Chains A and B, each alone.
Chain A
Amino acid sequence: MSVLNSLISGLSLGSVYAIIALGYTMVYGISKMLNFAHGDIIMVGAYVSFLLTNHAGMNAWISLLIAIATCTVLGIIIERLAYRPLRGTGSLAVLITAIGVSYFLQNAALLLWGADPRMFTSLFKGFKTIHAANGSLTITPESLFTIIANIIIMIALTLFVSKTKAGKAMRAVSEDNGAAQLMGINVNQSISLTFAIGSGLAAIAGVLMCSAYPVLMPTTGAMPGIKAFTAAVFGGIGSIPGAMVGGLILGIIEIFSRAYISSELADAIVFACLIIVLLIRPTGLLGKKINEKV
């Protein structure tokens, strides 16, 4: 049963990675840049939700909605102020700027909220843990809802990019920026929309993550951000199903290596797997092959 328990933990952690990885993969797909500040937006979302719930007495679900709104706006502002002026100047400048924004967010949070760890109250506090198979199999509401949320988000996003006008415009921009513009697509608007969606998802990921792993600090988003980036590359950066597959596999590898090999080596094993995948398939598991770039 412990294998199943680990599998559930892995799926749940992997789902968090997958939701974060979506933000990376969409932004990369459309503007060919790596938004390293993405991990820190998760942290901002979690803080907004925590402060509203624990210090302003707001309902946790309403605070989640406000966190999503805040992060969406934050994502749009970051794109407008930090990345748009650099568009077309070469990827290195944007990459460095993204790292700068990441540090800016972390330190702003440090200044604003202090570095004391906060104990996040789970969004699913009222729900009961499911015990199956004579109590040896446990499914926490946090795991369950994280996995469900991941599936819903994935389906919704796939439908959005394939069926809606805005989604089609995003795909067109990602295929060929210049041609899309000639066809009358507002490129700036499409990119803004991508950042908005990615950042909104980051807020959800932040709240889900902190519900399951309750310690919240200004650096909380940094490591999951890097892992999710790894997941995006693992699955093939630019591909939505790739982000999902990459995230889930990464989460499962991490939990299983911690449970059965060594908790010290878990991170090393995760990154070693990434290197192996990239050696065999340089574009990632689902990269290029399925042309569903966003």
Chain B
Amino acid sequence: MKLRKLVALAAVMAMTMALMAGCGGSGSSDSGDADGAGVLKIGGIGPSTGPAALYGLAVKNGGELAVKEINEANPDGLQLEWMWQDDEHDAEKSVNAYNKLVDDGMQILVGSVTTTPCTAVAAEAFENRTFALTPSASGPAVTEDNDNVFQLCFSDPNQGIASADYIKEHFADKTVGIIYNNADNYSSGIRDKFKSEYEDGGKKVTEATFTDETTDFKAQLNTMKDAGVDLLFLPIYYAPAANIMTQAAQIGYAPTYFGVDGMDGILGADGFDASLAEGVLLLTPFTPYSEDENIKEFVKKYEDAYGETPIQFAADAYDCVYAIYDAYQKTGLDADASMEDICEAMIKVFTGDFTASGLTAESMKWNEAGEVDKTPKVCIIQDGKYVEQ
């Protein structure tokens, strides 16, 4: 009931805003110049507390840093405002956070950070016509049927296929197993594609599953051990991954671990014995230890501001804000344009020949489905650092 009311309220608010914008008659000026001073309100949603807090906080900080940079670089031009809401990696809370942001006058959304909440928010944003660019929600359901939602990260199918191809190429002689969370879209989505791609060549993978309530992974690990699995693919978030690595070490099982973007952040978990993650391979478009000048500068600024090394999600959010900023210049809209007008204009730009360059890729392009086209990288954890392979 409460939720429906909120949704209704948000819808009314959105309609009112649309009407007001219409009255002003300045909704879509064709001056082609967005330099007029004004503030564009960008909302961010993600888990800044909860089991996936590391991702949410990284996005919050990365986005904030980009906004600050843009504002300082051109104080007379278009200014951005960064509004953040916590969703604790919970779909219902995420929709509430979205409604709150709409109430507060958000014009463009960066979020949500994680797939399941983002799927719920994407449906709302589609109804309300909010342009959304998610830094990291990689599930296909996020963009499916939603023309207004775009991903800056690889989609799950892409991650699954890229991982399978990499393993086939570089670890041809290994026996591969998967442990995944079958109660989670993200995890089972990657697993589906990985399995079909990997087994395409006639090879078999050993599989075991768990759910959010699972604490004991020894049964799954023993299954892997008995099957002789020596490369364990973990398309899961870092908390269960840390649990799995700890319990594997307890039973004296030491396969090579291969993770995807959810594994990013494992080194920063409170109390985690980083030596357990030595030799872990993971698919990530960003490594803070890169020699690239832009990345070096970003890492330095981030460390100065937040006292920790940025993970991939921070870079994703940073790129999101810059991509939105660049694309917005191309729409020719004023900073006070309505959320709906912005949405339509931004969709046009993103599905056009717009390319964005950033920390996570040189030239990112988007297709009409909202998926990004960029090249994944594989890193290995050595001495507590990511080393590019």
Contacts and interface: CB of A to CB of B under 8 A. Distances in A.
Contacts of B49: 110, 114-116
B271 A223 contact: no
Interface in A246-288: 254-255, 258-259, 263-264, 267
A54 B270 CA distance: 9
A115 B88 contact: yes
Given A118-B271, A215-B240, A259-B219, A138 B251 contact: yes
B381 to A, nearest CB: 16
B243 interface: yes
A142 interface: yes
B218 interface: yes
B219 A258 contact: yes
Contacts of B185: none
Interface string A110-144: 10001111111110000001010001001010100
A204 interface: no
B50 interface: yes
B383 to A, nearest CB: 19
Given A117-B51, A117-B269, A214-B243, A255 B220 contact: no
A209 B215 contact: yes
A2 B226 contact: yes
B223 to A, nearest CB: 6
Interface stretch (B75-83, B111-119, B203-211, B353-361): B203-211
Interface stretch (A5-13, A59-67, A94-102, A235-243): A5-13
Count class of interface residues, chain B: 35 or more
A212 interface: yes
A264 B209 contact: yes
B21 interface: no
A211 to B, nearest CB: 10
Interface in B83-136: 88
Contacts of B250: 122, 129, 140, 142, 212
A254 B49 CA distance: 31
A223 B183 CA distance: 16
B234 interface: no
Given A213-B216, A217-B51, A5 B270 contact: no
Interface of A: 2, 5-6, 9, 13, 50, 54, 110, 114-122, 129, 131, 135, 138, 140, 142, 209, 212-215, 217, 220, 223-224, 254-255, 258-259, 263-264, 267
